[in-house]
Amino acid sequence: MSVEIVNVSTNDCIDCVVTLAREIWTQHFTPIIGESQVKYMLMKFQSADAIKSQISGGSKYYLAKVENEWVGYICLIPDLDNHKMILSKIYVKKSMRGKGLGKSMLDHAEKICASEKFSSLLLTVNKFNDAPISWYKRHGFLLIDEVKKDIGSGFFMDDYIMEKTVLNC
């Protein structure tokens, strides 16, 4: 499978991320955190305005394409103070899971992390999101902590923090 990964830098690309987020989050996270929190998080973190604001603040979004179809996305945030790269988002359409796309996207994130001389990738994952937690562990991430964060409107993110050391080029 040939995967093309492109930097999100136009309004059209941002709109593709928003569309993917709506589909992926609704399918995957509604059973875990409920419909109300999914809608809130999509509006707060994955709307076009939110993504534009994140990009202007230093976040880097990338879209993954397979056979002319956008099928996933990642977001990386440099943590300059701790010399780590935060893998803020890595999402794959349900129809594309189990085909190596997530690994291709993770490889891309690791290459960027290494090329920018960061020591590791750091991420948070919902404590009840079992399949991704197992996937991260299989790909070298270690569980290092947990955090419960108030995100407003009575909603919380109850997450594990995971980290993977990345070898610099």
Residue 156 φ then ψ, to 5°: -130, 150
- Quick check: pTM over 0.75? yes
Can you point out the beta strands (E) in the chain? Answer: 4-7, 60-66, 69-79, 84-92, 120-126, 142-152, 155-165
Domain that holds residue 153: 4-165
> Would you write out the chain's pLDDT as a tens digit for each of its 169 residues?
799 999 999 999 999 999 999 999 999 999 999 999 999 999 999 999 999 999 999 999 999 999 999 999 999 999 999 999 999 999 999 999 999 999 999 999 999 999 999 999 999 999 999 999 999 999 999 999 999 999 999 999 999 999 999 976 4
Task: Please state, in angstroms and rounded to a whole number, the distance separating the CA atoms of residues 94 and 125.
Answer: 18
Contact partners, residue 142, CB within 8 Å, separation at least 6: 162, 163, 164
Name the domain count of the chain.
1
Residue 136's domain is classified under what CATH number?
3.40.630.30
